[in-house]
Amino acid sequence: MTVDSQNDNATIGIFARLQPLLARLLQGGLTLLAVSLLIFLAARALPGDVANMILGQSATQEQLDLLRVQLGLDQPLWWQYLIWLGGILRGDWGTSLSNGQPVADLLALGVRNSATLSGVALAVMLPLSLLVGVIAAQLRDGFVDKVFLGMSMVANAVPDFVTGTVLVALFATTVLHVLPAVSFIPPGDSPFSYPDALVLPATTVIIPGVMYLARLVRVAVIDVMATEYIQTAELKGLSPSRILFRHALPNAVAPIIPAASLVAAFTVGGVVVVEYLFAYPGVGSALVDAVTNRDLPVIQANVLVIASAYFIFNLIADSFAQRDEAAGQRQSKA
Amino acid sequence: MEMTLTTHQWVRSRPVSGWWRLWASTQVRWGVILLVAMTVLVVIGPFVAPYDPAAPVGKPYAEPSAVAWLGTDNLGRDVLSRVLSGGVYLAWMAPVSALLSVVIGAAVALVTAYYRGWTDLVLMRSLDVLLAFPGILLTLLCVSVFGPQPILLVGLVVLTLMPGVARVIRGAAIPLLDREYVLWAKAVGTPGPVIILRELLPNVSSPLLVELGLRLSWSVGILSSMSFIGYGIQPPAADWGLMVSENGTGLGTQPYAVLAPILMIILYTIGGGLIAEGAARVMARTEGKA
Amino acid sequence: MTMVLKASGLTVERADGAPIIEDVSLGLDRGEVMGIVGESGSGKSTLALALLAYARRGVRIAGGSVRVADTNMLELDTATLRKARREVVAYVAQDPGAALNPMLTLGTLLTEGLAGSKAEKVVRAREILRKVGLPDDEAFLQRRPRQLSGGQQQRIAIAMAVIAKPKLIILDEPTTGLDVSTRAKVLDLIRQLCISDDLTAIYVSHDLAVIANVADHVTVMYGGQVVEQGTMQEVLATPRHPYTRALLNAVPSLQARQTLRPIRGRVPAVGEAPNGCIFSDRCDHAIEACNTRPALRLVGGTQVRCVRPELAEAFEVRPQAVGHSDRQVANNSAVLQADGVNAFYGHRQILFDVSLQVEPGRCLAVVGESGSGKSTLSRCLIGLHGNLTGALSLDGKPLPLTVDQRDRNARQRLQYIFQNPNASLNPRRTIGQSLAAALANRPEACGNRSGAIIAEAFERVGISPHLAMRYPAELSGGQRQRVAIARALVANPAVLLCDEVTSSLDVSVQASVIELLRSLLADGLGMLFVTHDLAVVRNIADTVAVLSAGRVIEQGDVYKVLSAPSHPYTQSLLANTLQLPTEAIDVPTIARRQSAAGSR
């Protein structure tokens, strides 16, 4: 690649860079549509008749039929889907079958609580994993590093509810009694008003996340430290801090960003189990409750929200990964 | 032009092929030993259990005693007997799901990576759709519709884990396609399936084992999590995940009812974790050399 | 004369105590250039780094001293050592693409670590950019390394090294990855800087020809030891150590086709060197006395580590020239022919109307620099590059353009040998299995005879059949390349397509592969040999096609093309190809240095 050809490439580059993003977005929209259809069908396939459930066993056939017509259940399935989808897009998420409240209101509460939990967890997780990873890389093959590797292997293998239960035993019920085992947050209150209720659920999410990400950071830093440009920097007589912060970290962070987005996605997906464990009032526990109660609109809404969040983080991870891939290709051609 | 190696050099520098090279890793060996031991324990467990795991033997949440070594659970059943019997489902469901996800994932990955074209596009895009759906949600939805049947659970775990395996193996296989030995095989007209089996597969053995270990841990994780939230194995059957949720309220008074099954789950998942870790290290070593 | 570098007794060890370099001493006066030459595994890069008091991970400097100007490099605390690396000694790495941090701008890379205000630094940076022949505007300072060509990157790396005006600069294979014309320009730059800035430099290279063109003194390294050390002229004219002699004998010459004498065996691995003279296990003249390690001693102006350096007088220095190919084409019919081949990558055309032919028993060399399309051409011929137009024919019959349309016979008759011996064999198969897999494509040769055919192929390439159980990782690069050739021979081919097969090999190993290929030509095989190295062309090819930017610009008899090139591109290629001086007195070293040469 010569110096001059670089400028010519720039204009083409914008299109080349935008096109995969647009394709991704389009593909993402289709994926979400497919997800929504899947949710709709799965929810419809749940055993038990909705009208029966609302009116109870004593209802007459006429009452049931009337309700079915009111709910649109007599329409063809694809029409019901379109109606439902249209409602979702207009912000009309229906009403809960179990308590008659608008789903949108319930969802708003759940989303706020879950977003708070995930947000707090991620805000701690990302800087912490960078720190832990860099330290482990610096102490490579030493005792601390080996302990870290062992712990991270365990933390990555063990399911969230096990980590959470062990934390509860340690800090809430069995060994120490400093934190609540159950995160009671009254509806409508901000989770930030109950910081101690947030600690254990957040920690349960943070531990495997940090252990996973820090490991990637460690490998990335070690890889970068072994490159010739770091050797050159050392041979130029630069200070260790300049080498770490100016030369190594910017190169080490690049491969970690997609992984971080992926961890964010996992955090959102794993929220179901963690919230159930701590009875934390978010979308995850609401979903489990709704499935138990066969509360169709609530199930649909919660699944759709979790899937969308999961999807968005995945999309971010993908586009970063693709950008790196493209950069790698450019590099190998040069 | 002949070079002679001393026996000493010969033995020391001899790189062992494929799977044996992986077995040489201490972690892989310990992982396999742990898994085998756990499987044996789970299989003979129901026969050596002192009591019927479903029958009460004392009052609820009794502390460990000579009668019930690990105490009793929320319904007064013997914790030890339930722990010994509680891994049967996991012991076959988790390995089967992990194996199926890795085999199917690897097959999809290698075939699509080698042949490219529109099948590649369609298959990988549909896997992307699957990846875009958090596994636990899919499992939750389907189980709530069709009920917690073991076959269904296995199928769902495979569906959840397989796309990830396919992605990783595909990522490992694509650089191999530009390696000279694969190009050579193409140039002399070796049929595609032979190239996939003889040239590609042996060279992704390390990532395959990493995936197998990892996915085994995750299978255990998903399956026991499903039991834990009440959509896996149903009471009164004994199951580790179920036991954790059943006895969660008694954690303060009778922790063994929760900690014993948790320990079993940890040991089981660590087995997979060790295999993945060992294989990953072997991979890093060989790549570092190349 | 002030002595700038004085290293003595330098030893670098692995963690287990096995020495990587042992007891190395160097001395260099102001304004002199010392060439350090050695093949892979000789410890030359370890030595270069040790001069900066730097040792790679898992390796430590175990003893000796390094004095640069007034600084004792090995006895500094970390802060002072950093200062010394900024101001006293500088280093230029082999691969500038890897040695320049891709995330930083050229301005930052050049000026970081310098003292002074920002404005002063920019002035310095511009000054140095002009000096190394690069643009000095603000926009250029804002560029990042990946936006430069390989030659420009190396100029930046050199600028980075000299910007702080160090007393000594260490260049570790700075021109190895570059094309001949770029290499010539970078070498010119280094020579210029040596004169204009009176630089004292260590120049590390595997390439004797390059060293001969820049250095006043040369140190020959083998197995971590200095085997010979002296002035350039002296060492080239009368190489006294058998290894130096063998190395010179293995270098192909551009002037004449010669017998190349490979060195048997392989470079000892660290910790596995013979007890006596380090070269004794590969030396043709080893005697009983060689079982004790000889010390360096001064013989006729050079330091030699050999018990009988007087042998130098007994053997001729340069190998004999062999007559140019007398293999006349018997029936003049091409076995492989390409007509009007055009090849594309996407919409970009790589090859334009390329026509050539390969005759049995003769070798056609395709020469070109990187990006000329020479590798694409060989892939087109083997049928792995799908996107092409034109006509191919094999044995007079049309040959389909892609491999999956070709019949089994065509696939067997054309065999390909790759550049990189490390990847051309499946690492998970023993070499015997690799050959058996090749034979599986030849059903008529399967069964009872297969073992015999494989053994025969191994014998033919000089690999003992009892190595068949080994994996590629257990073999040296040269052996792997032989196995790759054996695998091609198993198919009983008519034409071998060789893609840069010797370029990743050490010169002594290259010699053995070239000799092997020559003998295959004598057996009647047709050969297409893709390379960038004109000296190799001279030594193997009968005809040559010069490829530039996808076009054949000159084609003809090797003798004619290399002696009297008609196209200016071929002329410049020839002019830029560095050669060992045939008469050591003609060393085109910097004239000013002649006076300094005798001072050691």
If one counts every other C-beta atom within 10 angstroms of the C-beta of residue A150, the result is: 14
pLDDT number for residue B4 = 38
B202 Cβ under 8 Å from any chain C Cβ: yes
pLDDT at A193 over 90: no
Pairing of strands C302-304, C71-72: unpaired
Question: How far apart are the C-alpha atoms of C157 and B102, rounded to whole Å?
Answer: 47
Find how far residue C305's CA is from the centre of its chain.
25
- Cα end-to-end span (Å), chain B: 25
Residue C160: list chain A partners with CB under 8 A. Answer: 232, 236
CATH 3.40.50.300 matches C336-575: yes
Q: What are the structural domain ranges in chain C?
A: 3-88+166-251+262-315, 103-163, 336-575
Are C3-88+166-251+262-315 and C336-575 equal in CATH topology?
yes
- pLDDT (tens digit per residue) in C487-523: 999 888 999 999 988 888 888 888 888 989 999 998 8
A42 Cβ under 8 Å from any chain B Cβ: yes
pLDDT at C585 over 60: no
Class of domain A103-333: mainly alpha
Question: How far apart are the C-alpha atoms of A68 and A52, rounded to whole Å?
Answer: 10
B273 Cβ under 8 Å from any chain A Cβ: yes
- pLDDT (tens digit per residue) in C207-232: 888 888 888 999 999 988 999 999 98
pLDDT number for residue C113 = 80
Q: What are the structural domain ranges in chain A?
A: 2-89, 103-333
Question: How far apart are the C-alpha atoms of B67 and C303, rounded to whole Å?
Answer: 88
| Among candidate residues B187, B172, B162, the one with its CA nearest the CA of residue B105 | B162
Q: Which of C86, C97, C146 is facing A237, going by the closest CB pair?
A: C86
pLDDT number for residue B11 = 38
- pLDDT (tens digit per residue) in A234-251: 898 888 889 988 888 888
Both structure tokens of A326: 């493209």
Q: Does residue C545 sit in helix, strand or coil?
A: strand
pLDDT at C595 over 70: no
Q: What are the structural domain ranges in chain B?
A: 22-49+76-288
- What one-character DSSP code corresponds to residue A245? I
Dihedral sign for Cα atoms in the order C226, C227, C230, C236: negative
Q: Which of C403, C464, C491 is facing B2, going by the closest CB pair?
A: C464
- pLDDT (tens digit per residue) in C12-32: 998 888 889 988 999 999 888
Q: Which of B3, B180, B187 is facing C423, going by the closest CB pair?
A: B180
Query: Quick one: how many helices (H) and strands (E) in chain A?
Result: 14, 0
pLDDT at C91 over 90: yes
Question: How far apart are the C-alpha atoms of A106 and A302, rounded to whole Å?
Answer: 10
Find how far residue A329's CA is from the centre of its chain.
29
CATH 3.20.20.70 matches B22-49+76-288: no
| Among candidate residues C348, C399, C401, C398, the one with its CA nearest the CA of residue C379 | C401
What is the rounded average pLDDT of the residues B230-241?
82
In this structure, are residues C395 and C362 in contact, taking their beta carbons and an 8 Å threshold? no
- pLDDT (tens digit per residue) in C47-68: 999 999 998 888 899 989 999 9
| Among candidate residues C472, A228, A334, C440, the one with its CA nearest the CA of residue B179 | C472
Residue A220: list chain C partners with CB under 8 A. Answer: none
Helix axes B205-228, B135-146, angle to 10 degrees: 50
| Among candidate residues C98, C172, C93, the one with its CA nearest the CA of residue A227 | C98
Residue C416: list chain B partners with CB under 8 A. Answer: 183-184, 187
Both structure tokens of A223: 């890889």
Question: How far apart are the C-alpha atoms of A304 and A91, rounded to whole Å?
Answer: 13
Strand partners, C305: none
A262 Cβ under 8 Å from any chain B Cβ: no
pLDDT at C529 over 90: yes
> Cβ contacts of residue C546 below 8 Å, gap of 6+?
C367, C368, C552, C553, C554, C555, C561, C567, C569, C570, C573
Q: What is the CATH number of domain C3-88+166-251+262-315?
A: 3.40.50.300
Q: Indicate the pLDDT class of residue C276, thresholds 50, 70 and 90.
A: confident
ipTM over 0.85: no
Residue with tokens 């066969």: A294
pLDDT number for residue A8 = 42
- pLDDT (tens digit per residue) in B66-121: 777 777 887 778 888 888 888 888 888 899 999 999 999 999 999 988 887 777 77
Q: Strand order in C526-531's β-sheet?
A: C414-417, C495-499, C526-531, C363-367, C543-548, C551-557
Using only C-alpha atoms, what is the Rg of chain C?
Answer: 26
Tell me the one-letter amino acid at C326.
Answer: D
Question: How far apart are the C-alpha atoms of B235 and B244, rounded to whole Å?
Answer: 12
* Residue predicted with more confidence, C104 or A314: C104
CB contact under 8 Å between A157 and B244, yes or no, is: no
What is the rounded average pLDDT of the residues B213-226?
88
Residues in chain B, overall count: 290
Q: Which of A34, A35, A291 is facing B140, going by the closest CB pair?
A: A291
pLDDT number for residue C12 = 93
Compute the half-sphere exposure of residue C268: CA atoms within 13 Å on the CB side of its CA.
24
